[in-house]
Amino acid sequence: MGLLTLVKNKALLFLGLLFVGIIFKYVVTEDLEIITKFEKRLERLNQNLIKDVNDFRKKENATLLTMARNSELYELVNTVLIYERKFNGIYRYPWVFLNDEPFSDKFKNTIARLTSGPTYFGEIPKEQWDMPDSIDVDRAEASWGNMAMRGIIYGGKKSYRQMCRYYSGFFWKHPLLDSYKYYWRIEHDSNLLCDIKKDPFTELREKNKTYGFVITIKEIAATIPSLWNTTMDFVATYPELLAPNNLWDWISINEGKDYSLCHFWSNFEVADLDFFRSDAYQKYFDYLDNAGGFFYERWGDAPIHSIALSLFLDKNQILFFRDIGYEHSPITYCPTNNKHCSCDVPYGDLKDNNSCIYKYLQVAEGI
C-alpha cells in the first residue's frame, strides 16, 4: 500500500467518525460519557495514523552502491530506472556511484535526475586501484596473455583484475561508505525482475543476518589455481578466526583438501559492512593480496567474499533471498512462487552441476 493511499484511507475514516461524533453530540444525545469515549477513539485513530506514516518512512542505515564508468551511462540509466521503480522509489535510499576516473558532468546530472534518494559520486583512490609495486609486471602480463589465449573470460584484462581486487579489499573503505552499516551492490547492467515487497536491509537486521545473496554458482577453476592452498595456509596461521558452525562443508570438498568452487555471485549482494571491516576479513585480504593472485592469476571478489563468509561466520548468518528475481548476463534467477515478477524462467535444476544452491540448502538449512 502506497503512502498516499494509506493516508487517504485513514483520513476518510477519521472524517467519517468525526461526522458520526457530531451527530451524537448535537442530534442523538448529550451524554457526556459517549462523547468522551468517542473523543478517545479519535485520539487513538490519530495516533495510529501518525505511527503508520512514520513506519512507512522508516529505513535502515544503508546505501546502494554501483561501480561504473562514464561510457556505461546508458546501460546504467536503464538499471537505475528499474531499481527505482521496483524498490528504491518507495524507500529512497542513498545511492553511491564509484569510478576509477572522475565522473563527467553529463553522467552525474543524468543519474541524479533519476534517483529518488540522495546521490553521491566518488573517485576510487589511485593507491587502491593501481597494481601494487610488489607485483612482477612481466610475470603478470605473461599470465594475462596465457589466459587470453586459452579463452578464459576477462583473462587478458588488467582492469578486471583491478576491479576484483578493489571489491575484495577496499570498497568499504571509501569515505562515502563510512557512515553506513549496510550496502546493496548493484551492477550497472543488471536487472531486477520482481517488485520488492520487503526491504532487504530490514530483513537482514530483523533476522540477525550478515549477508544476503540470490545466485550461487561455481567459479572457473583456471582463474584461481592457488587460491585454496593460499587460504589453507592462512587458516593454519590463524585457526582462531574460524567460526565453529560455519559453511566448511559447502565451501570445501575431499575432506577439506580442495575448494568446491562454490561462491555467492557477488554482483548481487546485500551485506553488513561491518563484516568487511572486521579484523578477520582484513587479515584474510592482506594475506591474499601479499600472495599476488589477483594479478598473477585472476582471483575474483566473489570466491574471496564467499570463502571468507563461509569460514568466519556462523552459517545461520547468511540469507538466501528466495523472492528476489535477478538477472545479470548470462544468468537469471526467477522465483517460482512470487507473483510480482516479470519473469517466468526458473533458476534451473537445483542439482545442476554448475549450481551450488542445492548443496548450500543441504549444509545451511538441512534440506
264 and 230 part of one domain: yes
Query: Helices 279-291 & 227-237, crossing angle to 10 degrees?
Result: 130
Cell output for 222 = 583456471
129 and 96 part of one domain: yes
Cell output for 95 = 545511492
74 and 47 part of one domain: no
| Euclidean distance between the first and the last CA atom of the chain, given in angstroms as a whole number | 34
- In the block, cell 575484495 appears at 168
Last residue of a domain, one of 35, 55, 75: 55
Buried/exposed code over 310-341 (b: 16+ C-beta within 10 A; e: otherwise): bbbbebebbbbbebbbbbbeebbbbbeebeeb
Query: Helices 73-83 & 105-114, crossing angle to 10 degrees?
Result: 20
Phi, psi values for residue 70, rounded to 5° = -55, -35
17 and 108 part of one domain: no
Rounded to the nearest 10°, the torsion over CA 124, 128, 129, 133 is 150
Alpha-carbon span 250 to 261, nearest angstrom: 9
The pLDDT assigned to 151 comes to 97
The pLDDT assigned to 277 comes to 99
Alpha-carbon span 5 to 2, nearest angstrom: 5
269 and 158 part of one domain: yes
Q: Which residues are catalytic?
A: 269
The pLDDT assigned to 290 comes to 98
48 and 67 part of one domain: no
| Beta-bridge mates of residue 97 | 66, 121
User: Is-contact 308 284, C-beta < 8 A?
Assistant: yes
The pLDDT assigned to 261 comes to 98
pTM: 0.84
User: Is-contact 211 243, C-beta < 8 A?
Assistant: no
Closest to 311 measured CA to CA, from 254, 252, 225, 233 = 252
Range of the domain at 51: 3-55
43 and 80 part of one domain: no
User: Is-contact 129 253, C-beta < 8 A?
Assistant: no
Domain count, the chain: 2
Last residue of a domain, one of 28, 55, 82: 55
| Neighbour count for residue 107 (Cβ, 10 Å) | 21
H/E stretch holding 66 reads strand 62-67
Cell output for 240 = 582462531
Which amino acid, one-letter code, is at 21? G
Alpha-carbon span 220 to 54, nearest angstrom: 47
Which amino acid, one-letter code, is at 251? I
The pLDDT assigned to 19 comes to 54
Closest to 3 measured CA to CA, from 72, 49, 68 = 49
Sequence-distant (6+) residues with CB within 8 A of 93 are 59, 62, 63, 64, 117, 184, 201
H/E stretch holding 273 reads helix 273-276
158 and 258 part of one domain: yes
51 and 95 part of one domain: no
182 and 246 part of one domain: yes
202 and 179 part of one domain: yes
Last residue of a domain, one of 37, 55, 73: 55
158 and 174 part of one domain: yes
Buried/exposed code over 55-70 (b: 16+ C-beta within 10 A; e: otherwise): eeeeebebbbbbbbee
User: Is-contact 172 308, C-beta < 8 A?
Assistant: no
Domain of residue 229, CATH code: 3.90.550.10
Alpha-carbon span 325 to 272, nearest angstrom: 21
Alpha-carbon span 290 to 287, nearest angstrom: 5
The pLDDT assigned to 349 comes to 44
Tens place of pLDDT per residue across the chain (367 aa): 454 555 455 555 555 555 545 444 544 444 455 545 545 565 565 555 444 444 455 799 999 999 999 999 999 999 999 999 999 999 999 999 999 999 999 999 999 999 999 999 999 999 999 999 999 999 999 999 999 999 999 999 999 999 999 999 999 999 999 999 999 999 999 999 999 999 999 999 999 999 999 999 999 999 999 999 999 999 999 999 999 999 999 999 999 999 999 999 999 999 999 999 999 999 999 999 999 999 999 999 999 999 999 999 999 999 999 999 999 998 989 888 777 888 876 554 445 567 899 999 999 988 7
